[in-house]
Amino acid sequence: MSAIEAIKGTRDILPEEVGYWQRIEQVARDLLNRAAYREIRTPIFEQTELFARGIGEATDVVGKEMYTFIDKGERSVTLRPEGTAGVVRAYIENGLHVKGLQRLWYLGPMFRYENVQAGRQRQFHQLGCEVLGSADPRADVEVIALAMDLLAGLGLKDLRLDLNSVGDPADRQQYRQALVEYLTPYKHALDPDSQNRLNRNPMRILDSKNAETKKIIQDAPKIWDYLAPESRRRFDQVQQQLTDLNIAYTLNPCLVRGLDYYTHTAFEIVAETGLGAQNAVGGGGRYDGLVSELGGPETPAVGWAMGLERLLLLLQQLTSTPVIELDFYVVSRGEQAEAQALQLAQTLRRAGFAVELDLSASAFGKQFKRADRSGAVACLILGDDEAANGTVQLKWLGSGDQEALTQTDLLATVETLRHRLKDSRATMPN
């Protein structure tokens, strides 16, 4: 019988990688908690209409990439392709809009049927934050600053912040018309996707990766020239406040993001090295019309999302695999010794120590080899003699020093033990 394999576009996160994921999650959780953002957890699948209305039927995400199916209740259901629409649905449905400004963050798997490559899976993971209820440009700058601080907290470098304004709906309508007028004479020189977008979603052509199309759009009209005075003033404020925070940015008139709900500020953070063509690690912007589009009250909002798989690729290039710092490795042989070893390991764990118990019942020599490879600071050894006498051998793996203690004395000197472990770990080779 043949083995069953993971579906293309999904992958297992093995134990040697999990430390990286936990590091990202912990840094994010600490940072966002300090900024008064609260975690929200929404369902992995939603009504298809949520994404069709929220993201936009003309987008590639809705038109080509969603995992949509009919459930047993004859409802059209979609695995979430992004996090914002679900957060907004929860915001409306649970009456969060009556509780004032909401700072929210989320973390979890998303699903898009895309071409699989490094940093791009069909099941992928996003971390995102949203501010709902503030039209202040400072909210835009706050979320950008948090994103940059998160990446800095992970030790990531060689990142570039791209910034643009896509204006309000009236600004975009004027710009859309000018862009179509400019591109129409070049229609047959555009790549096929861009030809299809010309009348359906022309601003997405600005984001084309096709070399010939990119040449054509170099001289296309810039949206900045079509911003109304209020939109221009808002964009100027965002730039000034970023400058005041010493956050460098690059103006990018071709940055439009892939979702229809964006208004005014749009931004993207890209890795200038380490990721190749798929180099965006995160991005977002303002989406003042999305809450009302999904049936809620008029509510200004801004937020971002980051792809964890791409952060993982960058972290792996930067640091070695994070490992559990083991305090003790417990070896034992003999029925009575093995029973006592289990009790000793559990007691030490409950006291706050990291303990691995060898369960192999193999010869002491093999267990000692595993202890040496484990990275533990010390080894606790129980054999027939120790079991009979209620003692334990404590061996410091860095120095090789060994001493005999009663099990009672070992457990009675927890704080002394902590200090000895700390001192011994500091002298161990990396």
pLDDT of 205-228, one tens digit each? 887 888 888 888 888 888 888 999
Percent of the chain with pLDDT over 70: 96
- CATH class of residue range 328-427: alpha beta
pLDDT tops 90 at residue 280:
no
40 near 106, Cβ under 8 Å?
A: yes
- Name the superfamily (CATH) of residues 15-168+228-318: Bira Bifunctional Protein; Domain 2 (3.30.930.10)
Q: What number is the average pLDDT over the span 109-113?
A: 95
pLDDT tops 90 at residue 279:
no
Express each pLDDT in 144-195 by its tens digit: 999 999 999 999 988 999 999 999 989 988 988 888 889 888 888 888 888 8
What are the sequence ranges of the domains in the chain? 15-168+228-318, 328-427
Query: Could you tell me the pLDDT band of residue 129, with boundaries at 50, 70 and 90?
Result: very high
Residue 333 has a pLDDT of: 96
Q: At what angle do helices 137-153 and 229-244 cross, to 10 degrees?
A: 40
- Helix (H) / strand (E) element for 303: namely strand 301-307
* Residue among 182, 231, 232, 228 nearest 202 (CA): 182
- Give the whole-angstrom CA distance, residue 430 versus residue 301: 47
Residue 258 has a pLDDT of: 58
DSSP H helices, 134-223, are 137-153, 169-183, 192-200, 211-217
Residue 275 has a pLDDT of: 66
DSSP H helices, 305-413, are 308-318, 335-350, 364-374, 384-389, 407-412
- Give the whole-angstrom CA distance, residue 143 versus residue 305: 10
Query: Could you tell me the pLDDT band of residue 276, with boundaries at 50, 70 and 90?
Result: low
Instruction: Name which residue leads in pLDDT, 412 or 331.
Output: 331
User: Per the annotation, does 82 bind a ligand?
Assistant: yes
Express each pLDDT in 1-20 by its tens digit: 889 999 999 999 998 899 89
Strand partners, 89: none
The residue to which tokens 């953002």 are assigned: 37
- Helix (H) / strand (E) element for 159: namely strand 159-165
User: Per the annotation, does 106 bind a ligand?
Assistant: no
Residue 13 has a pLDDT of: 92
Sheet containing strand 402-406, strands side by side = 355-357, 328-332, 378-382, 391-396, 402-406
Instruction: For the chain, give the mean pLDDT.
Output: 91
Query: Could you tell me the pLDDT band of residue 321, with boundaries at 50, 70 and 90?
Result: low
- Give the whole-angstrom CA distance, residue 395 versus residue 377: 9
Strand ranges inside 26-88, DSSP E: 38-39, 45-47, 67-70, 76-79
What dihedral do alpha carbons 232, 237, 239, 245 form, nearest 10°? 180
User: Per the annotation, does 232 bind a ligand?
Assistant: no
Express each pLDDT in 38-66 by its tens digit: 999 999 999 999 999 888 777 778 888 99
Q: At what angle do helices 15-34 and 308-318 cross, to 10 degrees?
A: 110
User: Per the annotation, does 370 bind a ligand?
Assistant: no
Residue 217 has a pLDDT of: 86
pLDDT tops 80 at residue 111:
yes
pLDDT tops 70 at residue 281:
yes
pLDDT tops 80 at residue 259:
no
Residue 82 has a pLDDT of: 94
Residue 385 has a pLDDT of: 94
Query: Could you tell me the pLDDT band of residue 117, with boundaries at 50, 70 and 90?
Result: confident
Strand partners, 306: 127, 282
User: Per the annotation, does 130 bind a ligand?
Assistant: yes
User: Per the annotation, does 16 bind a ligand?
Assistant: no
Within 8 A by CB and 6+ apart from 124, the residues are 109, 110, 111, 112, 307, 308, 309
Express each pLDDT in 365-380 by its tens digit: 999 999 999 989 999 9
Q: What amino acid occupies position 217?
A: I
Within 8 A by CB and 6+ apart from 239, the residues are 163, 249
pLDDT tops 80 at residue 114:
yes
Rounded to two decimals, the pTM is 0.86
User: Per the annotation, does 83 bind a ligand?
Assistant: yes
- Give the whole-angstrom CA distance, residue 356 versus residue 379: 10
Q: What number is the average pLDDT over the span 263-292?
A: 86
Percent of the chain with pLDDT over 90: 65
The residue to which tokens 């299809």 are assigned: 196
Strand partners, 286: 263, 302
164 near 252, Cβ under 8 Å?
A: yes
Residue 429 has a pLDDT of: 67
Residue 100 has a pLDDT of: 94
